[in-house]
Chain A
Amino acid sequence: MHVTSPVRTPLVTGGKTYADVTEDICKQVEGKPTKEWKVAFVISLAVLAYGTVCLFWTWWEGLGVWGLNKTVGWAWDITNFVWWVGIGHAGTLISAILLLFRQKWRTSINRAAEAMTIFAVLCAASFILMHMGRPWLAYWALPLPNTFGSLWVNFNSPLVWDVFAISTYFSVSCLFWYVGLVPDLATIRDRAQNKVSKYIYGVLSLGWNGSARTWSRYEYISLILAGLSTPLVLSVHTIVSMDFATSVIPGWHTTIFPPYFVAGAIFSGFAMVQNLMLVTRVVYKLEDYITFEHIESMNKIITLTGSIVGVAYLTEFFIAWYSGVEYESYAFYNRMAGPYWWAYWAMMTCNVISPQLFWSRKIRRSVKWTFFISVIVNIGMWFERFVIIVTSLHRDYIPSSWAMFSPTMFDIGDYIFSFGFFFTCFFLFSKYLPVINMAEVKGVIKSTSEKLPLKVSGVSKAERLASPAYKKDAE
């Protein structure tokens, strides 16, 4: 253990002992599902069922049930795809980059964030399949040996890069997540009361015995995976952005896209983590683990990435004007003042203005504000992709082809499907797996050498600092 200075604020409040941590986290897995969980799970199953019906009809009838047309060939499908991939960025960022930077506060949130990543990437992948005219042939996008002659995939196509990027990202994220779960699964196995769960968690924990050797391997693999997945955090959305950046369509053909997409992805990913964690925190009574420090740190990252995104928006406009390219200028004029102006201004308000509210300490430490702004940010980021995709396509080079896009109930229904899928997965995860990485949290419980008297344990730092009575004790 590192020696830490006593002034460092504790990462876990409430004076938790190791046993408390185990108890607090495991009780959700071991106990009967709560009423709230049941209600939420049934709702998400219902949403999934409705979405599945819509999805089935989309595949049965053809993509004509969507609102796409000869000019706008992608709209909600790819908007949703990019949106979900973006959301899927926070998990790896938290677990990999923050691990490398030794940001210990990440331990309380990385498990749920990684799970969210995996489910979000699955949702994104579902849109890759969905948007295909003939999804049953999706495997043709893989470089598989085949009997079709010398047919191979087109390595020039960013969609092929996408296939590699997303599948790599998905597998590394899964691995990372699972490796992180092993010590906790072993804990649950050891506590299991019935044979079935003992068996299941036993198999899942891969024979973990808590020896120094297993811990050492665990640490190594975590570090290696963190090293491997750090470039992935940057590469996945870079490649997704190349779907657009390498094209000839004004508004897509932009070199700024890779950094701008990555920043946007982290932006929306953190917002989604905030949303999920704030709810889990309350429902599972994890206030001591997910503290205001966590919320505040994440809000700071949201403000940072939101500002990067805002600068990117302005840079695009500057370049559109400065380049003197007729089509580029028009594309951006059209975003701002064309028929889809409302989408553009929704994006600007949600993504550029709303995160700036976090400059106020009061707002960034407020659960309600954080939750609200995180929702707004995710709406804004959805609009960002909609603006990029639809407003660029609907008025490109040849004015005779200019057209409008409006969604049908199946565009909406298939989007709803992904929500149903995501939340069903997330609720199953939150019930059957530990939502907080117990092993790692135990490692940071004593990150401060300060000893709190019993009576102040569970009192927040802000309160302690504000009240002189506590201050004296703290000293």
Chain B
Amino acid sequence: MENQTKRYWKGLEELRNDETFVKNAHNEFGSFEANDSTQYKSIVDGIGSDRRDFLKVLGFGLAAVSLAACDAPVKKSIPYLNKPTDTFPSIADWYASTYAEGGDYASVLVKTREGRPIKIEGNKQSSVSKGGVSARAHASLLALYDAEKLKGPKKGEADAEWDTVDKEISAQLASIAAKGGQIRIVSSSILSPSTKAVIADFTAKYPTTQHITYDVNSVAGLVKANGDSFGKAIVPSYDFSKAKVIVGLSCDFLGSWIAPHEYSVQYVAGRKLNSGKGGKKDMSRHYQFETTMSLTGANADYRAAVKPSQEGLVALALYNKLSGKGGTSLGADVDKVLDKAVANLKAAQGAALVVSGSNDPNVQVVVNAINSALGAYGTSIDLGTPVYYRQGNDVAMNGLIDNVKAGSIGAVILYGCNPVYDHPRGAELKEALPKVELSVSFADRADETSSLCKYITPAPHYLESWGDAEPKAGFYSLQQPAISLIYKTRQAQSSLLKWSGANPDFYTYLRNYWKANILGGENFEGTWTKALHDGVVEKGAAAAASAGAVAGLDAAIAAVTASYKASATGLEVVLYEKVGMGTGALANNPWLQEFPEPVTKACWDNYASVSQKTAKELGLSQDDVVKIEVKGKSVELPVLIQPGQANGTVSIAIGYGREKAGKSGNGVGVNMYPFIQNKAGFANFSVGEATLTKTGDSHKIAQTQTHETVMGRRAVMQEARLAEYQKDSKAGRYFPHVSTSEGIKSPTEITLWDGYQKPNHSWGMAIDLNSCTGCGACVISCQAENNVSVVGRQEVINRREMHWIRIDRYYSSDADVMDKSLSGSKALEIASDNPEVVFQPLMCQHCGNAPCETVCPVLATTHSTEGLNQMAYNRCVGTRYCANNCPYKVRRFNWFKYFDNDNFDFHYNNDLGKMVINPDVTVRSRGVIEKCSMCVQRIQEGKLNAKKERRRPVDGEIVTACAQSCPTEAIVFGDMNDPASKLSKLLAEEKEGRAFQMLEEINVKPQISYLTKIRNKDVDATKAAAKEAHAEHGGH
């Protein structure tokens, strides 16, 4: 269309359409020659700028100044000049090795990143440890980076050089040997055959040498009893999976007795259930008679509390009842359980096992007689394949201390032990040791014993050392270093070789030893490489040996009858070993110090556990400091009220009260070793009768859980009895209903949310409450994997521990669960005197309808397309709204800066300690929330590996730290979108069975399912009827 409007022009130039006019037409002030020179030039060049650029220049100037002002500090990272052949930055290397410390054993895989070991996992190829790694073994990694270890040899207080030290020690050993002076090597149990060979070589050089072994947690009584009964002075192999009925007599075989992790695996194998078609619907039954509420007792189906003074008589009563003889009564409660146990044991002939934790050989002889009568030998007990976890000889060690005191010992070499601290006669040794002419310790620090020695020739951590182990006859494993020496330390074996004048190269020695004794010369390089790669060499167990008649039974019975009492009125003290802290050798390990004891949930202390009834009688309440006096020795400890503890007894843990362990370990708790009794040469943890007085002081015990019962909340904890379960695999399940205008509905049918698509993966977990023993290996494993901070005692008291996974422990209550009145609720808070215990591992449930995600104002926590609830630490502003709104209370807030902070002087406060940090996981700053990420870094790594190979991730390839470290496979991780995954199959089987999700009625749709806890207990007819009546009403 023609333009009808008039045209106006500014001047003739526009009318003419001049070239210069067109060029400058955009310019407000017309032609302006100077402008041409600035065209296409930077406005900051300083060449005259036009008006329109003024603000730009101003803005740039402002931005430049502010940017220059906030220059980030430059951290120099130095690349490899020559890249090591096998090391690729950001790619982990794994080495098979062996953890064998103080009788604990595990075949392990060590994950190293850029040359630093950062994680320990179990080696599934080992049929001894079966991939199980205890919390302590997981935590042993941190000891590698303990900044308080010695950095080189010491002579007295002074630093010394290896050459001088070697010369002086060799010379002194020679002179002592020359004049016939006695030389003693004192050690804890040594599992390493090659080390024993080194000691033998040393003994050959210095013939007056004797090797004395002692165990802090001695089972010398058991060894003696087996010697007496069968002529085999060994610790036999036990197989709990072969027993239908297990009876434990003061024996914490799942927590601390001999090889708890091995036993846990076997134990749970006998108790796994499967709701699928033709699945295993039978499990073993476990009776426990004990004083302290142990981890094992917590897992028992039937448990009776007995006093230490009754311990022997329980075994005897069991024997008598089994053989049809009457016995003395041990009180109505105990007798009832005993009778039941006897009936079950008799029925389970050949598939029964009785174990006793007693170190009294007489009691063990009686137990041998019971097992013999039950036909346990050859099935659940194998005398043909001894285990070497405990080789200590209490009598020999006592003899040594006598000799040292008498001054008849010329030289003492201490290897892997700390007797001044952990031997009951440590105080005597402390007096006498400095008088010995030559004393050398291989300890890694100037601890209670080594600080008294003339020389400390520190041995490196096991992850820096070569070695081997033979935990069980015919089962070998190799230990290889995963990092070169951090300090100027030398392996004990090398030192011994050096001092005996041999070649100190222990690696060569080890190879030769294996060539000669284990692998054989044929194709040695190949077999050696394979052994090193696999970590284990298993020659298989010898044929299971059954046992003959038990010798010396009558004498043992007489001794037991004489030394135990059926009923005693006094207050008895008994010592026990904690699952995490153990003997206290790793006391300077903040992970272990902060590890909540599975039953009490207490950390950073030992304490006097008393029963509710005893506490009431003595007027004690939790945290009261009491003075306990036994046989002239006294100790002050806070009180912890422990349901299930035998009345009239006090239990106190060993492994505390270190004086020279280091910053984390010193002064934590009280040393109870001096209280261990010497009963006919055998260390006896039953201390005897005590007087207890209140001091009036109070000392708060740091506990991660303070409420004891589940308050009858069936949406949280669902459990049933075996007989009910066999009838109906959904027994014990809880199905909440909601009344709506359209009738009664399941809460999952009502929702406001659209949910999230999970097109590719749907990561999830199933946690079998029946398989979880509560051992807590997952807690430390998670801590190591995810750089979880240690917060210290006071902060645990303030309820601020940072663990991403916790194991909730609930005691049963005698109160009526259905009573919802005020008094009923109050009564539910009180645990039974002898409660049933249940453990429930709890981490972020990765809810599909996550309450935390909707409330975060800044979208710091979001949902992934793979079902994960993600946390972006960098985006978090720390309102803690998510933590408040989390129904599971799994979110953790960084209340302080936990690294580089002198108030938290743990491993994150020194450069060496920080070496343990997993570089794949951010260390969280203060003011942000953190929580379980379902090991997203592992998921990502697994997916990338699969992608590189152009395939889908294989089930089992990706596994979270908790699932990987669970010895009993209670935690199964996998992709729920993959129907072939182990998890999907398990959930498919258990969908109409035991699988439930916590707090189903709030419909948060967790990715994590639990499988109900089943107890192999008889169904109480009246209670069952009441339950059924209630079930009809259902929950609303």
Contact = CB atoms under 8 A, between A and B. Distances in A.
B822 A158 contact: no
A378 B415 CA distance: 69
Interface string A230-255: 00000000000001001111000000
A74 B716 contact: no
A247 B884 contact: yes
A152 to B, nearest CB: 7
Contacts of B801: 70
B859 A399 contact: no
Interface in B876-898: 876-881, 883-885, 887-889, 891-897
A140 B858 contact: yes
B896 A62 contact: yes
B571 to A, nearest CB: 31
Interface in B841-879: 842, 851, 854-859, 875-879
Given A329-B820, A403-B706, A70 B810 contact: no
Interface stretch (A126-134, A166-174, A421-429, A448-456): A126-134
Interface string A247-268: 1110000000000000000000
A470 B103 CA distance: 103
Contacts of A397: 713, 716, 887-889, 999, 1002
A336 B806 CA distance: 30
Given A64-B795, A64-B800, A70-B799, A400 B927 contact: no
B800 A69 contact: yes
Chain B residues touching A, majority SS: loop
Nearest to B738: A325
Contacts of B895: 62-64, 68
B883 A159 contact: no
B707 interface: yes
Interface string B680-710: 0000000000000000000000000111011
A330 B1004 CA distance: 20
A152 B859 contact: yes
A329 B711 CA distance: 13
A333 B885 CA distance: 20
Nearest to A337: B822
Interface in B704-724: 705-707, 709-711, 713, 715-716
A395 B999 CA distance: 15
A73 B880 contact: yes
Interface in B790-837: 795, 798-801, 806, 808-810, 820, 822, 825-826
Contact of B711 (A138, A163, A399): A399
Contacts of B709: 399
A133 B881 CA distance: 11
A154 B881 contact: no
A409 interface: no
A410 to B, nearest CB: 12
Interface string A385-423: 000000001011111111100000000000000000000
B822 A326 contact: no
B185 interface: no
Contacts of A330: 711, 825
Contacts of A71: 799, 889
Contacts of A154: 854, 856-859
Contacts of A138: 877
Nearest to A336: B822
A53 B802 CA distance: 29
A401 B843 CA distance: 12
A153 interface: yes
A131 B893 CA distance: 12
B517 to A, nearest CB: 51
A247 B875 contact: no
A163 B892 contact: no
Given A61-B896, A153-B858, A329-B820, A398 B927 contact: no
B1035 interface: yes
Contacts of A157: 854-857, 881
B706 A402 contact: yes
A400 B895 CA distance: 21
Nearest to B903: A61
B1036 interface: yes
A137 interface: yes
B898 to A, nearest CB: 10
A159 B859 contact: no
Contacts of B1036: 324-325
Contacts of A459: none
A152 B856 CA distance: 12
Sorting the interface of chain B by its residue count into under 10, 10 to 19, 20 to 34 or 35 or more gives 35 or more
B788 interface: no
A46 interface: no
Interface in A318-344: 324-327, 329-330, 333-334, 336-337
Contacts of B711: 330, 399
Contacts of A134: 876-878, 925-928
Given A62-B896, A63-B893, A73-B883, A400 B999 contact: no
A467 interface: no
Interface in B737-759: none
A159 B881 CA distance: 9
Interface residues of A, number: 56
Interface string B927-958: 11100000000000000000000000000000
Contact of A400 (B705, B715, B854): B705
B370 to A, nearest CB: 38
A151 interface: yes
Contacts of B897: 62
A86 to B, nearest CB: 20
Nearest to B862: A154
Contacts of B891: 70
A391 B1002 CA distance: 20
A40 interface: no
A73 B890 CA distance: 12
Contacts of A70: 799-801, 883, 889, 891-893
A460 B955 CA distance: 88
A36 to B, nearest CB: 41
A310 interface: no
A391 to B, nearest CB: 13
A333 B820 CA distance: 10
A132 B885 contact: no
B798 A69 contact: yes
A253 B708 CA distance: 26
B25 to A, nearest CB: 34
A399 B716 contact: yes
Nearest to B803: A70
A15 interface: no
B826 A153 contact: no
B837 to A, nearest CB: 13
Nearest to B798: A69
A400 B842 contact: yes
Interface string A33-71: 000000000000000000000000000011110011111
Contacts of A163: 857
A156 interface: yes
Nearest to B928: A133
Contacts of A62: 894-897, 926-927
A247 B707 contact: no
A140 B809 contact: no
A63 B927 contact: yes
Nearest 7 CB-CB pairings of A with B: A133-B878, A133-B927, A64-B895, A69-B799, A400-B808, A73-B880, A401-B889
12 contacts: A63-B893, A63-B927, A69-B798, A132-B877, A133-B880, A153-B858, A154-B854, A154-B856, A159-B879, A329-B820, A398-B842, A400-B808
Interface of B: 705-707, 709-711, 713, 715-716, 795, 798-801, 806, 808-810, 820, 822, 825-826, 840, 842, 851, 854-859, 875-881, 883-885, 887-889, 891-897, 925-929, 998-999, 1002, 1004, 1035-1036
Given A134-B925, A396-B889, A401-B889, 7 more contacts: A68-B893, A74-B881, A138-B877, A156-B855, A158-B855, A248-B1002, A399-B710
